[in-house]
Structure 1
C-alpha cells in the first residue's frame, strides 16, 4: 500500500471520526433542561447522568481532534506535491482549494475542540459553584428564620391574647387566680411561642447537615453554637415554669439563678447587655463570615 492510499484512508477515517465526534458533542456537549432540573451535583459529587454527559462530551471532542489530525497528512502531501512553476490549471486550482479547505478544517477543529473543552469545564465549575451557593443560601435563610423565631419567643411583653380564654376570663372577673391556673396559662404561652422555634430548628438542622456535606466539616462547630443557644433557651423556659410550679420558691432560694433564667427567657430585640442575645448574634456573625465566600 503506497502513501497515497494510506493518506486517503487516513483522510476518510478522519472525516468519519470528526463527524461522529460532532454528533456526540451536539447531543451531549451542553446540558439540557432535564439534567439541570435534576440538580446534577449532589453533595459536590456528580450524579451518574451528569458523569455520562461528561464522558460522552469528552469523547466527542477527542474524536473531532483525532479526525482533523488524521486529515493533516493528506493536506501536507497535497501541498508538497502540488506544482509550483507549471501553468495554473483548473486541476491545480481545485487541489489548492482542497488543501486550503483541509487546513481550515483542521484549524477550525482544533479551535472548536479547545473552546468546547473550556466551555465544558466552565459548566462543571458553574455547577459546583451553584451547589455551594444554594447550600450556603439555604443555611443562612434557615439561620435567620431561627433567629426571628427565637426573638419572638423571648418577647418581654406577654399580651392577653396569648393566655388561654378561661385564664383571661378569670382575670377580667378579678377573681382569685390559683397558682395551678397560672402555671397552666404560662405553659400554654410558652408552648405556643416555642412551636415556631421548633419548626425553625428542624429546618436549620436539616440545612446544617446539607451544608456540612457540601461546604465541609468546618461549618459544624458554627451551627452547633446556634443550636446550643436554642437548647439553653428551652432549658431556661422549663426552669421558669418549674419556678411557677413551686410558687416562686426556686428563684427565692437562688436569686442569681432566677435572674439569669429570666434574662434568658425574656429579652428585647435590641438588647446589648443580654448574655444569650449576644451569644446568638455572635453565632450568626460567624455563620455569615463562613458562608459569605460561597455567596459571592
Structure 2
C-alpha cells in the first residue's frame, strides 16, 4: 500500500505519464494542462483504486475474524485515501481553471499540494496520517498473522 500511495503522490511526473503529443506542443492552454494532469493523476489513481478494492474485501474478512477494531483502523486509512482523491480532483480543477481556483486561497492550494505531493522527509501532516493509519492496521493484524 505504501508504494502505491507513494507512486500516486510522486511530485515528479515522468514524460511517459503525459498524454502523447503533450510535450511537443509549443504552449499548453489551461484546458490542455488540465487534461494532461487528469491523464497523469487518474492513471496513478487507478492503481490505488484497484488496491483499495482488494483492501476493502480483506478488511471485511479481517473484521469477521478478529473483531470490529479493524473496521475503525481501516476507516482511518480510507479517510486518508478519500482526502487524497479530493485533493487530486481539486488540483485538476485548478489546472483546468488556469490556476484561478488556487489564486484566491493560497492556504487551500498549499494544503491540496501537500496531500498530492509526497514530501522528501515524509514529515508533513498528511504523510504522517497515512503512515499512522497503515501502522495501526499492521500492529493490529500482525499478531493474528503470526498465529496462522
Q: Give the TM-score band, short-chain normalised.
A: over 0.9
2:8 is matched with which residue? 153
- Matched residues in 2 for 1:196 and 1:292: separation? 25
Match of 1:249 among 100, 110, 121: 100
| Superposition CA RMSD, Å | 1.2
* Cα shift at 1:176: 2.3
Poorly superposed stretches of 4+, deviation over 3 Å: none
Q: SS where residue 11 of structure 2 aligns?
A: coil
- Matched residues in 1 for 2:51 and 2:6: separation? 12
Listed as ranges, the gaps of 5+ residues in structure 1 are 1-145
Calculate the TM-score normalised by the size of structure 2. 0.93
Cα distance per residue 1:74-120 (max 9 Å; x no partner): xxxxxxxxxxxxxxxxxxxxxxxxxxxxxxxxxxxxxxxxxxxxxxx
1:216 is matched with which residue? 67
Q: How does 1:53-72 map to 2 (within 5 A)?
A: none
Q: Does structure 1 residue 267 correspond to structure 2 residue 122?
A: no
2:143 is matched with which residue? 293
- Matched residues in 1 for 2:48 and 2:2: separation? 9
Calculate the TM-score normalised by the size of structure 1. 0.48
* Cα shift at 1:295: 2.5
2:31 is matched with which residue? 180
Contact 1:151-1:269 within 8 A present in 2 as well: no
**More contact order relative to length (CA 8 Å, sep ≥ 6):** 2
- Matched residues in 1 for 2:17 and 2:143: separation? 42
2:78 is matched with which residue? 227
1:168 is matched with which residue? 23
* Cα shift at 1:216: 0.8
Q: How does 1:92-111 map to 2 (within 5 A)?
A: none
Q: SS where residue 22 of structure 2 aligns?
A: helix
Cα distance per residue 1:117-161 (max 9 Å; x no partner): xxxxxxxxxxxxxxxxxxxxxxxxxxxxx2221110000111111
Greater helix content: 1
Listed as ranges, the gaps of 5+ residues in structure 2 are none
Contact 2:35-2:96 within 8 A present in 1 as well: no
- Matched residues in 1 for 2:38 and 2:145: separation? 41
Cα distance per residue 1:46-72 (max 9 Å; x no partner): xxxxxxxxxxxxxxxxxxxxxxxxxxx
Match of 2:91 among 218, 240, 249: 240
Q: SS where residue 210 of structure 1 aligns?
A: helix
- Please identify, of 175-184 and 201-210, the stretch whose mean Cα deviation from structure 2 is larger: 175-184
Radius of gyration: which is bigger?
1
- Matched residues in 1 for 2:117 and 2:24: separation? 25
Contact 1:233-1:264 within 8 A present in 2 as well: yes
- Count matched residues: 146
Cα distance per residue 1:199-239 (max 9 Å; x no partner): 00000000000000111111110011001111000000000
